[in-house]
Amino acid sequence: QVQLVESGGGSVQAGGSLRLSCRRSSHTYDSNCMGWFRQTPGKEREGVAVINTGDGRGYYADSVKGRFTISQDDAKNTAYLQMNSLKPEDTAMYYCAADTPPCTVTTLTMAYMYKGQGTQVTVAS
């Protein structure tokens, strides 16, 4: 069983930046896709980004392309989500998740193997 521990998040003005971190407790094949999805009350879960920790390739939802960057520190078993040019519509609870390759934002969001506790991101206009 893999545990995902998230950190980061908080409140920021529109146009600002935040960075989320997600550390997994062990390096397992079924957690080699790491990423985030987000959710707000009354709305469907929305995928954000995923990284294949095997080859370092990142994939993004159209809504965050060009603004968010996902990366990893393999030695630390940690994935990062750098969020720039934040908009009020980015406000949500962000959940780190992990899944088995192949890695896509959709499968990570809808069929993850592991999920973190979530961290709130609030962007004020």
* CA gap 24, 85 in Å, rounded: 27
Q: What is the pLDDT of residue 39?
A: 97
Query: Could you read off the pLDDT of 23-81 as tens digits, one per residue?
Result: 999 999 999 999 999 999 999 999 999 999 999 999 999 999 999 999 999 999 999 99
Q: What is the pLDDT of residue 8?
A: 95
Which two structure tokens, joined as six digits, stand for 26? 């062990």
Query: Could you read off the pLDDT of 82-109 as tens digits, one per residue?
Result: 999 999 999 999 999 999 999 999 999 9
Q: What is the pLDDT of residue 67?
A: 98
